[in-house]
A and B are shown apart, each in its own frame.
Chain A
Amino acid sequence: MSKQRPESTDDNEPRFSGATSRRAFIGTAAAAGIATLAGCSQGESGDENGGDDGGSEGDSGGETESSQAGVSGETLTLTTTTSTYDTGLLDEIHTDFQEMYDVTVDAVALGTGAALESARNGDADVVMVHARGLEDEFMQNGYGINRRDLMFNDFVIVGPEDDPAGIEGMDSATEALTAIAEAEETFVSRGDNSGTHTKELNLWEAAGTEPGGDWYQEAGAGMGEVLNNANQQGAYTLADRGTFISQRSEIDLTILVQGPIEGGPEILSNPYGIMAVNPGVHDNANYDLAMAYIGWITSPAAQDAISEYQMNGEQLFFPEAVSEDPNFQQYVPEGWSSDSDSE
């Protein structure tokens, strides 16, 4: 697996074996140090000279307008959510894409809110997130284009096995949350403006309960950390099934309310979408490569790879990009129509 990376993008990384390469390392470090010194001092005096960096990193956007044809050798910056990243899915499937186009994918794991924000600032080329409301807003504000439904799994409410709030087997997520709130059993919230956090807040709203008090803890952390946190405290939390499965062997929490994949309520569904950053807003965005990526990840081959990806014997994500009956609402914000006021 690890040998498959094209060597051409790799000239900056000597291996640590033997005296020769150690010397090479020192040489590289020194040369890079000098180069960066030049870059830094000029940068700090306000002089825009990026010459030293482009060469050594083989890096993204700056090279898009060069005369070289195609996208070979370029770097795609993908901001995505911790819940996708922590399952290991992207590392597993990206190798194919990188080989196919001879490119590098830099996946940066952030919360959905932060992932969208970095794309809004033009620091990403493509975004993969799971909060349709925030995605719609992102597109309506003109930052994202060419949205596709990508895949889905679902959310589950997990908690300690002894289930002090007695929510096990409930078919209503909102009733379960209300029960937790009434019993004032500890509930750990992501509290990080992520897709899961957004979903959780929507659920509280749907339940008509205002969460608050000592039992409701905002962790401000990624899904994995929150699962650990809840595990340590014997608390409840809302988790996406993918992260929960990938971490199940490390923790004692159990699924108490199932999502729609296992017959639970539809409100717990968790669809992932992918969007390119609008090159009309950020002209440095690597749009060609972003569209190549979106094309690839919604292709039957990559969709198969997604459905084949398993952790602890369970499928984590269910592809939904390939369909005989395309859902046209996936391309535009929900509820949008050509005569509505947004365009």
Chain B
Amino acid sequence: MTPEAVAQLLPVVELPFREGYVRSIIYVSLYVSGTAVVLSTLFSIPVAIVMGFTDFPGKQFVKSIINTGMGFPSVVVGLLVLFVVSNQGPLGPLELIFTREAMIMSQFVLATPPITAISLAAITSVSDNVRDAARALGGTRLDVALVVIKEARYGIATAILAGFGRAISEVGSVLIVGGNITSASGISKTRTLTTAIQLEARQGQYDTAMLLGAVLLVLVLTVNAVVVRFGDGGAMNR
């Protein structure tokens, strides 16, 4: 559903936005959170696989670190990323402060723990029978891993959704490292739905804030529906 369609559902609310404003903040939200989640997934799944298939000293400790990471407050992450990307920080010369790339970095940090932890839980919960059967049929280590991942795919999809949910709904870190910037013509540069809601609420425009909140909700619902649908398709093809 487009934001315009959402707006039509709420005829009481007069859209105070300039042309392209809502579309551009939706785009920035999806771009930043989507990229962050893709990167987190590329990082997390291999980590989860390695941890799910091997035993090494200190594994429980790594696990508890990851689980703790699920509770990282986003403002703290934002603050840490700010120190890193600020002109005075180690990545200062890259000029990342107040850019989408900095926002992606902080959301990467936020989304990685839940994706890793939930994927790991899904992988370890695949029955040993499945692994044994795959091995018995002459599968290599890679084959066994692929079979286990296939069995665990719902759990992994849930993990990615959880990471996406964490990323797109957080406001603390993107506000700090992104700066909530739009151009003078009202096209978002680093303003996301959440920071826009925060701004509208600050200005006392609660109805506008609610409208943007509805847009965010619809967006998250849509992404969830798409992923669930995608998962079902996989089940039918089996």
A interface vs B, CB < 8 Å?
A: 1-5, 10, 13-16, 25, 29, 32-33, 36-37, 39-40, 43, 46, 48, 50, 53-54, 57, 59-62, 77, 82, 86, 90-95, 98, 104-109, 118, 121-123, 221-222, 224-225, 227-228, 231, 246-247, 250-251, 282, 284
Contacts and interface: CB of A to CB of B under 8 A. Distances in A.
B99 A57 contact: yes
B204 interface: yes
B219 interface: no
B86 A247 contact: no
20 contacts: A1-B19, A1-B185, A2-B18, A5-B185, A10-B187, A13-B27, A33-B34, A33-B35, A40-B104, A43-B94, A46-B90, A48-B93, A61-B95, A91-B186, A95-B184, A98-B184, A104-B189, A224-B204, A246-B203, A250-B203
Interface in B11-48: 18-21, 23-24, 26-27, 30-31, 34-35, 38-39, 42
B181 A106 contact: yes
B223 to A, nearest CB: 13
B151 interface: no
B105 interface: yes
B201 interface: yes
B181 A108 contact: yes
A121 B86 contact: yes
B187 A247 contact: no
B27 A16 contact: yes
Judged by DSSP, the binding face of A is: helix
Contact of A29 (B31, B179, B189): B31
Nearest to A59: B95
B203 to A, nearest CB: 4
B205 interface: yes
Nearest to A82: B202
Contacts of A15: 20, 23
A334 B71 CA distance: 48
A29 B34 contact: yes
Given A2-B20, A222-B202, A36 B98 contact: no
A309 B199 CA distance: 21
A330 B186 CA distance: 33
A40 B95 contact: no
B107 to A, nearest CB: 11
Closest 3 CB pairs of A and B: A122-B87, A94-B184, A250-B204
B97 A225 contact: no
Contacts of A54: 95
B112 to A, nearest CB: 11
